[in-house]
Amino acid sequence: MSPSELPSASWRFAIVDVETSGLESSTDQILQVAVVGLDLDADGIAHTSEWSTMVRTRFPWDSVGPHHIHGIRRRALWAAPSMRRVLDDLSQQISGRIFTAHNAAFDSSFLLAAAQRSGHTLELEPRLCTLELSRRLDPDKKLRHRLADIAERHGIPHDNPHDALEDARTTAEILPHLLKAHQINNLSDLQPHFLRPINQVR
């Protein structure tokens, strides 16, 4: 879906979060993926769907990285679906929606790297980043812009950080606040905030 095809009267967002074994998309793995469907229109805000899954590691002995951060243990992934299956399901979850994440460049880089390794087609455009939206409201760099910090400023509970579904839910809660702060009222207002397009991975 190109930006010109986005509906002007109703915006449909796919709020995505991934938990990973590390910070390098070329070598580390996705362990958990979550998507919250968020619809915004003249009548208000509706959370229309939620989806979350663990992802089976490529090999049983693969490292899951910093357990003390994401809380995921290797045994929780043994019976999880494969990355290829997860990508199939993810494609359905985000189809026709604006891919949105807190640090969208990070999440999309891992998803696209996984798609490339799996020979999967994954379309993530257009992409909207709540981290960048928040930073642009703070040109003097006086604030912190972690998801937990933004949630706290808006009085939004964030009790289980680094769980993909919890982070996606929190991002969905802060997005309307950020759009309002930027005075984004229509598609023309929204388009300049999309991340630079990346090539579709096949």
pLDDT of amino acid 60: 62
pLDDT digits (tens, 9 = 90+) for 81-110: 999 999 999 999 999 999 999 999 999 999
Residue 154 contacts by C-beta under 8 Å, 6 or more apart in sequence? 173, 174, 177
Domains and CATH numbers, the chain: 10-190 (3.30.420.10)
Nearest to 50 by CA among 39, 35, 38: 35
Measured N-to-C along each axis, helices 83-94 and 104-118 cross at an angle, to the nearest 10 degrees, of 130
Residue 165 contacts by C-beta under 8 Å, 6 or more apart in sequence? 17, 34, 36, 50, 52
pLDDT digits (tens, 9 = 90+) for 61-71: 567 666 656 66
pLDDT digits (tens, 9 = 90+) for 5-52: 444 456 899 999 999 988 799 888 999 999 999 998 766 677 789 999
Model confidence pTM above 0.95: no
What is each CA distance from 106 to 92, 94, 117, in whole angstroms?
21, 17, 17
* Residue whose pair of structure tokens reads 């910090």 in the numeric block: 149
Least confident of 35-44, 124-133, 142-151: 35-44
Q: What are phi and psi of 34, to 5 degrees?
A: -140, 150
74 contacts 60 by C-beta, under 8 angstroms: yes
DSSP string, 82-115: PHHHHHHHHHHHHTTSEEEETTHHHHHHHHHHHH
- What's the rounded Cα separation, in Å, for the pair 50 and 46? 12
Q: Output 87-95 pairs: Cβ under 8 A, ≥24 positions apart.
A: 87/111, 87/114, 87/115, 87/118, 87/120, 87/122, 88/120, 89/51, 89/53, 90/33, 90/35, 90/122, 91/121, 91/122, 91/123, 93/14, 93/35, 93/37, 93/49, 93/51, 94/14, 94/16, 94/35, 94/124
pLDDT of amino acid 162: 83
